[in-house]
Amino acid sequence: GQNIDQPTEMTATEGAIVQINCTYQTSGFNGLFWYQQHAGEAPTFLSYNVLDGLEEKGRFSSFLSRSKGYSYLLLKELQMKDSASYLCAVYGQNFVFGPGTRLSVLP
Amino acid sequence: DTGVSQDPRHKITKRGQNVTFRCDPISEHNRLYWYRQTLGQGPEFLTYFQNEAQLEKSRLLSDRFSAERPKGSFSTLEIQRTEQGDSAMYLCASSLDDSEAFFGQGTRLTVV
């Protein structure tokens, strides 16, 4: 089976940096994905890691350690529009999502 | 291609009725997924297809739920004898093999 854990809520200030952690247990591993979901909308793809290390994509970076079953999403230069839920998803036997982390960006 | 589309966007039904939702994936995508999401929770995996084959179905899914993808293109999700606990957003996503999945806008089901 697969088990994915994320913090439920986080708060940060506009312009700051925030790190959202994700730990997982899975039988089989084909990649780890991060999605952003604004309230009432569908999830949208942010980043993807299949090998250990850091993937950078503009203000967003994602890190993976397969041996530790651990990933994080790093958001830099936070903007108010970054207030959303951030979902960690693992491709093992199938494509399973974590519970999501609700990020609030304050002025 | 305009992405993954789902129909209807909203459905209100009386308890005990059957409902059917449709999902049209991105045309070249061979994998199609169904999820259920309730407020404040992450998407909960229901089932997925590789082409027309249903490869996995969540153990949490009761026998009232069935999904098909008859020609490996669009898919339908049917819920029989709906219950109030079935009220949720039903999301469909598609991908090409293990690449990122793209989501439709979902069907919001309200059972009254």
State residue A48's pLDDT score. Answer: 92
Q: Does A99 touch chain B (CB under 8 A)?
A: yes
Are the C-beta atoms of B73 and B90 separated by less than 8 Å? no
Confidence of residue B7 (pLDDT cuts 50, 70, 90): very high
Dist CA A62 CA A21 (whole Å): 10
Please say if the pLDDT value at position B33 is more than 80: yes
Dist CA B89 CA B87 (whole Å): 7
Angle subtended at Cα B23 by Cα B18 and Cα B24, rounded to the nearest 5 degrees: 150
Beta strands in chain B (DSSP E): 5-7, 10-13, 19-24, 31-37, 44-50, 53-57, 65-68, 75-79, 88-95, 102-103, 107-111
Distance from chain centroid for Cα A21: 7
CB distance A94–B33 less than 8 Å? yes
State residue B52's pLDDT score. Answer: 93
State residue A5's pLDDT score. Answer: 96
Q: Does B100 touch chain A (CB under 8 A)?
A: yes
Q: Across-strand partners of A12?
A: A105
Q: Does A41 touch chain B (CB under 8 A)?
A: yes
Tell me which of B100, B102, B107 to substitute to probe the interface with A (most A C-beta atoms closer than 10 Å): B100
State residue B72's pLDDT score. Answer: 87
Please say if the pLDDT value at position B9 is more than 90: yes
Which of the two residues, B97 and B37, has the higher pLDDT score? B37
Are the C-beta atoms of B77 and A71 separated by less than 8 Å? no
| Residues 49-68 in B contacting A (C-alpha not used; CB under 8 Å) | 55-56
Percent of chain B whose predicted confidence (pLDDT) is above 90: 86
> Can you tell me the mean pLDDT for B17-37?
96
Assign B2 to helix, strand or coil: coil
pLDDT in tens, B51-88: 999 998 888 778 999 999 998 899 999 999 999 999 99
Confidence of residue B1 (pLDDT cuts 50, 70, 90): low
DSSP class per residue in A17-79: -EEEEEEEEESS--EEEEEEE-TTS--EEEEEESSSEEEEETTEEEEEETTTTEEEEEE-S--
State residue A1's pLDDT score. Answer: 66
State residue A83's pLDDT score. Answer: 98
Query: Please, where are the H alpha helices in chain B?
Result: none
Please say if the pLDDT value at position B90 is more than 70: yes
Alpha-carbon torsion, ordered A24, A26, A32, A36, to 10 deg: -60
**Which pLDDT tens digits describe chain A residue by residue (107 residues)?**
678 999 999 999 999 999 999 999 988 888 999 999 999 899 999 999 999 999 998 999 999 999 999 999 999 999 999 999 999 999 887 889 999 999 999 99
